[in-house]
Structures are given as structure tokens and as C-alpha cells.
Amino acid sequence: MKFYTTLPSNLRPFFDKELDLYREEYAKGNLQAGWRHLERAHIIGQRYPIAHTYVHWKMLVFGFKIKSVNEIMGQVPRLFIGGVKSFVGKVPVGNPGGANVPPLKPFPIEKELQDIFAQAGIRTN
């Protein structure tokens, strides 16, 4: 069994960029676009406990900011379980992380994110 720890340095810029874009869109009031960047950051970082947990924290805070009980209630268990699942390498690859999707369901990874993983030398399967 492979144990994952921190986000690889060659993947970090892509993860950070998505979080920066989230902050920019949120600040402009573009909540849907901002959320999409959080989902992309989740997909990029979901194999790494710290990054994975951090994105779920940001999603929880987002849920509070938009007063979404569904998102808040969906993020609480994800916040505590997601990082553990990452640590042991058991994540539903491609899952965008929001409360609007089943937490253990894998999803296809969009082409642009596949290209990011390939550029960083990370296998997605």
C-alpha cells in the first residue's frame, strides 16, 4: 500500500493557481466560477491529505458564506474523512468534492486537468 503525504512540487503551482482563481472569482461575486475552481483544486489535490483537507475546509467556509445548509452538512464529514482516505491512497479519483455529488463516486477527469497531471508527471489511473 502506498502512503501519500504532501502535494508534489510539480503539481503545487496548478493547485495554487486554482485556489487563486477561486479567490479572484469569489471577490468579484462570481460564485459559480469560484466554486468551479475549488472543485478543480479538489481534483488536483485529492490524493494528498493536507491539500485535500484544505480544499474541503475552503468548501465548508464557502458553504457558510453562501448560507447553504446542504453544503455545510456535506463538507463536515468530508473534512474529517477526506484526508485519511488520501493518506492511504483510497480516493474517488475525479470527484469534485462538493456536497452535490456522492462522496465516494469517482468521476471522469476533464481533458484540461488530465493535461495538468500529465505535465506534472502524475498518473491519474
Looking at the domain assignment, is residue 118 inside a domain?
A: no
How many domains does the chain fold into?
A: 1
Alpha-carbon gap, residue 52 to 82, rounded angstroms: 7
> Containing domain of residue 66, as a range?
12-89
Determine the straight-line distance between the first and last CA of the chain, rounded to whole angstroms: 15
Q: Give a yes or no: residue 65 inside a domain.
A: yes
| In a domain? residue 106 | no
Task: List the pLDDT tens digit at each of the 125 positions of the chain.
Answer: 556 678 999 999 999 999 999 999 999 999 999 999 999 999 999 999 999 999 999 999 999 999 999 999 999 999 888 887 887 778 889 999 999 999 889 999 999 999 999 999 888 76
CA 64 remoteness from chain centre? 17
Q: Is residue 76 part of a domain?
A: yes
Q: pTM to 2 decimals? A: 0.93
DSSP secondary-structure letter at 83?
Answer: H
User: Is 16 a member of any domain?
Assistant: yes
Q: Is the dihedral of CA 76, 5, 103, 94 positive or negative?
A: positive
109 assigned to some structural domain: no
Q: Are 41 and 18 in contact (CB under 8 A)?
A: yes
In-domain check, residue 120: no
**CA dist., res. 44 & res. 86, Å (int):** 12
User: Residue 74 domain-assigned?
Assistant: yes
**Cα–Cα distance between 82 and 45 in angstroms, integer?**
11
